[in-house]
Structure 1
């Protein structure tokens, strides 16, 4: 069994993630990453900025809303992602369905607790049918606009407990739309606000994607997701794939067998000291050449930093409390030579600043400063507000 050391894993990451030489366009970059995180709207644009030389905000929006080569879909770990269009069928039949079942069950519970109906499934079916009817004319509409057309969506539910700052009574509309979205019956259409803000309008899937593939069988869908993941992130451990996919070990082991994945050895983790087993695609066993040092500034929840659960080969574990929140969500990160070495923030004038956690020498510092200047120019005065800001980012803001 061949061993793939950490240096080679970083070389694979640099080449395959478009961080060394770049990728030609938004669709190619998204396929290279399998999917892009989209929980924060700005992440999509900034992830593509880091990988596609010369890309503009208009280019990203065109790929999402005009060409529709890229589509936002709730899937793995109940997270919103941007999928390349040809991967949607696999997701709809597997990870998205898993989330949809969970979402519908939770929604049914809230319907009963709020006293909206004694038969929650019938209530949900009725509400969903009304929404789909309201969208039948093909006009994208926000949740607020749909509430005006579909009175059923005005039903209110209690979220949280009084001790929570975000608790209160809210219209049920958002959770009906989330359920429909997870089921693949509606999609997020054109953004109704600034590109850096998540204000989607909704469209019917059968209108937005008239020639979309239907949902794949579950086992084939999971196998395709794992195959794409290995092409992007391999080698990775079973634990990495289970975490990223939001599925079970049984599902992952079956998918690995279905695609003929090959075992390889990896370097021991700092915690266990035991060499773990990794997996690669059957045609991806051969060594890859080393790469020259490279610099990158990646946004909050970028797919590179969020690709693995076990991150020691590119992240000093001592940095985790500073660069990730307590749920494992990454803030902005600064990279040098295939390792996370700090983060980046913006000052009050929207100028990007790099905050290092390690001494990387003058060459590395100069390369990251050049990236900061490039990103500052690209943002052109736009300040990004992050929901998932890391403790180091918050400390800089407070300072």
Structure 2
């Protein structure tokens, strides 16, 4: 069995995640493919993750990829989380993970409609969806509020969990729009406001080509191993949200090779066992929910356990992190006046301090006047902005 040390894992991460200056990418879609998928729960995270890895960081380049060229698309997928993936990979993500989520979302809404006293059913839902598509075709793009004004069905309210102590009345507009997006019949268009806004407009889209679920899971696993391997079954299960059985079938389908790690065993893509040359020293300021930190269930090779409490919230969401040569060594934040501030949880030396300051300056340069706050706030990020 080949052995891959933690040091080699950090070298791989720096190179394959495009974090060292010499390996940065030229396009947002290339960044997404290098990481397989970018977290998109926070609108700003897509831009911050992509620009941290671009040779020439640019809000306009990411916006063009998302809204004009559509080489980068948002999908509700792994772990029922919103991700941005390249248009090339989107069909595989859709079939391997997003389809099951869309089916469950539809089943849940139909159950709530059936329980409501108005007697709404699948026919009503189908007619409402078609009306939304017709309104979008007429407008080109629209916000949820505009669609509700155009489509009376979206102004319907239903009683959820009737007769129970947590009974509540909800509007259906967000649920219906969410279903259409999950089915890839509509997609998120430019938001109202700046690139940090999550108040998206919507536009008509086309469903992705049908693939074999087995083929789709295998391809997603192969790409994930090339980006994150060596990694464990638990890491892949955590990242995808698949069952352990599906994880093992996908690993077998791609001929994943078992390797010895400094702690336990892991897997790499077939033939991907050769040692890699070290990179130049590098620093990075990565945003909350960035994949380089979030994609692993076991982060021991790049994060000291005692630092987790400061950098993660209680649900396991990572905040903005400071990296040095593959180690997470601190956190950063943007204050209300736009200043980028950071705190190191260990002393990495003068060279690292200078590189981190340079990255903070680079970040401030392209962010300019924009302001953003992570949706899931962590103890250190809160302290830095207090």
Q: TM-score, normalised by structure 1?
A: 0.91
Task: Return the alpha-carbon distance in structure 1 between the equivalents of residues 95 and 289 of structure 2.
Answer: 25
1:126 Cα deviation after fit:
2.6
Aligned to 1:364: 352
Within-5 A mapping of 1:153-164: 153-157=154-158
Aligned to 1:186: 186
Q: In structure 2, which of residues 210, 226, 231 is the aligned counterpart of residue 231 of structure 1?
A: 226
1:99 Cα deviation after fit:
0.9
Task: Return the alpha-carbon distance in structure 1 between the equivalents of residues 322 and 70 of structure 2.
Answer: 31
Q: TM-score, normalised by structure 2?
A: 0.94
User: CA 1:137 to 1:116, structure 2 compared with 1: closer, same or farther past 3 Å?
Assistant: same
Deviations 1:38-66 (A, max 9, x none): 11011111111100022211111011111
Q: In structure 1, which of residues 95, 98, 101 is the aligned counterpart of residue 97 of structure 2?
A: 95
Aligned to 1:271: none
Query: Is 1:320 aligned to 2:315, yes or no?
Result: no
Aligned to 1:83: 85
Deviations 1:82-139 (A, max 9, x none): 11001111122220011112211222233234434353x3333232222222223360
1:170 Cα deviation after fit:
3.9
1:260 Cα deviation after fit:
1.1
Question: What runs of 5+ residues in structure 1 fail to find an aligned partner?
Answer: 207-211, 269-274
Task: Return the alpha-carbon distance in structure 2 between the equivalents of residues 169 and 397 of structure 1.
Answer: 37
User: CA 1:324 to 1:157, structure 2 compared with 1: closer, same or farther past 3 Å?
Assistant: farther
Aligned to 2:295: 307
Contact 2:18 2:25 in 1 (8 A): yes
Query: Is 1:377 aligned to 2:337, yes or no?
Result: no
Task: Return the alpha-carbon distance in structure 2 between the equivalents of residues 122 and 242 of structure 1.
Answer: 37
Query: Is 1:295 aligned to 2:286, yes or no?
Result: no
Query: Is 1:246 aligned to 2:241, yes or no?
Result: yes
User: CA 1:159 to 1:24, structure 2 compared with 1: closer, same or farther past 3 Å?
Assistant: farther
Deviations 1:206-235 (A, max 9, x none): 2xxxxx751212111111111111111111
Task: Return the alpha-carbon distance in structure 2 between the equivalents of residues 78 and 382 of structure 1.
Answer: 28
User: CA 1:158 to 1:390, structure 2 compared with 1: closer, same or farther past 3 Å?
Assistant: farther
Aligned to 1:217: 212
Task: Return the alpha-carbon distance in structure 1 between the equivalents of residues 116 and 308 of structure 2.
Answer: 40
Count of paired positions? 383
Aligned to 2:195: 195
Task: Return the alpha-carbon distance in structure 2 between the equivalents of residues 155 and 192 of structure 1.
Answer: 24
Contact 2:332 2:384 in 1 (8 A): no
Task: Return the alpha-carbon distance in structure 1 between the equivalents of residues 278 and 106 of structure 2.
Answer: 48
